[in-house]
Amino acid sequence: KTEQGIALVDRDEDGVDRAFREDVLTGLKQKQKAIPARWLYDDSGSQLFEDITDLPEYYPTRAETEILNARGEEFSRLIGEGRAVVEFGSGSSVKTPQLLRAIHPTAYVPLDISGDFLRQSAAALAEKFPAIDVYPVEADFMREVDLPEKVHSLKKLGFFPGSTIGNMVPRTAVDLLRSMRATLGAEHGEKPLLLIGMDLVKDREVLEAAYDDSKGVTGEFNLNLARRINRELSGTIPVDALRHKAPWNDDFARIEMHLEAIRDIDFEVAGRRFSMRKGETIHTENSHKFTRRSANTLLLAGGWTPQARWTDEKGLFSLILAEA
Ligand code: AVI
C-alpha cells in the first residue's frame, strides 16, 4: 500500500528549486568554487549513480550488499520485528529488500528529494512487500522531517546505507545525525536505532579508480551537475570545457570530485556572470572514508552509540548499528 507523499521542496513561481539556486550562486562566488554534492541527484544524476554502482571499480555497493545478505539473522535478533524503517535518501531503494526481508517491519518510509524517482521505487517496493505499509515522503532529510502520522506509534529504525554520510564534511554529518535523532523521535519514548553504511580507508589506487572509472560514467555523473545548472537555472556553462577529476585528499581522508576548466571560460547562471581560469575547479563532492575509530567518533558526536559493526569479507566497507 502506498500513500501520497508530502511535497516539501520549496519552488518559486517558475518551478525553480530556491535552495538549489542559492547553493549554486553562493558556491560559484567563492574563491574555491564549490557546490554541495546533494545537487548531483536530479533524475538523470540518480540514474547515473545507479549505473556507477554496477561498475567493476566501484566496490561500495557490492560490499555493502554482501554484508546485508550475509547478516540477516543478526539484524533480526538485534533489531526485532514490527518497526517503521525510515530510509534517508532512498534513491531507488535497491538495498532495502534484503533488510525488509530480514526484520519484517510494519511500515517503510523512504525519504528523498528526488520525488518522481522516489514514488516509482516506493510503488515497486509496495508491490513486492504487500504486508508492509509504504509511505514515501519527498523531503530534504538534512532537516528534521515530520513522519506520516500512521508511523508515530511504531518503534523506528533509521536506515542510511551507501556511505552517503561520507559525502558530508564532519560538521554537516554531525548535524544530520542529530536531525535523524529528531526525525526518529529520540526525545520521546523508545530509543530509535540507526543502521548506517560507512566506507573504509584503503589504498589510494583502489579509491581513485572507484571514483574515476575507465568507462567515464563517474565523469558523466559529475558533468551532469553542470548540465543541470544549465537546464534549471538558465545557465550557459560550456560543459565541453570542463573535465572530471577525483583525487584522494589524505589529510581529510576523502576522495574529492572536481570539475576542472580546461580553458578560460565565462558563463551566466540565473542572470549572474561568472568566469573560470584554465585549471580552476568547481569542487562538487567529498566522499570521506573512515576507520573503525573515526566512524565511532563521528556517530558519538552525532548522538548515536555504536552497538554492532560488520564488514564484507575483503574488509572494504562497514555497516554499523547504533542506538540513540
Ligand atoms: C552516494 N555516495 C555515497 C557516492 C560515494 O561513493 O560517495 C556518490 C558517488 N560519487 C561518485 N561516485 C559515487
Please give the share of the chain, as a percent, with pLDDT higher than 70: 97
Residue 8 is predicted with a pLDDT of 60
By the 8 A CB rule, do 278 and 238 touch? no
Structure confidence at residue 305 (pLDDT): 98
Which residues of the chain are under the pLDDT cut of 50?
1-6
CB atoms within 10 A of CB 265: 18
Among 41, 58, 164, residue to substitute to test ligand 1 (most atoms within 8 Å of Cβ): 164
Residue nearest to atom 6 of ligand 1 (CA): 287
Contact 197, 119 (CB under 8 A): no
pLDDT of residue 140: 84
Distance (Å) of CA 301 to CA 174, 203, 210, 230, 251? 6, 27, 29, 38, 20
Q: What pLDDT is attached to residue 153? A: 94
Does any ligand 1 atom lie closer than 6 A to the CB of residue 211? yes
Cell of 314: 575483503
What are the backbone dihedrals phi and psi of residue 249, each rounded to the nearest 5 degrees, phi first? Answer: -105, 105
Confirm or reject: Cβ of 60 under 6 Å from ligand 1: yes
The predicted complex's ipTM stands at 0.99
- Residue of 287, 288, 289, 319 to mutate, ligand 1, most atoms within 8 A of C-beta: 287
pLDDT of residue 7: 52
Q: Are 38 and 24 in contact (CB under 8 A)?
A: no
> Probe ligand 1: pick from 59, 94, 117, 211, max atoms within 8 Å of CB?
211
Q: Residue 81 Cα, ligand 1 centroid: separation in angstroms?
A: 31
Q: Which ligand 1 atom is nearest residue 162's CA?
A: 3
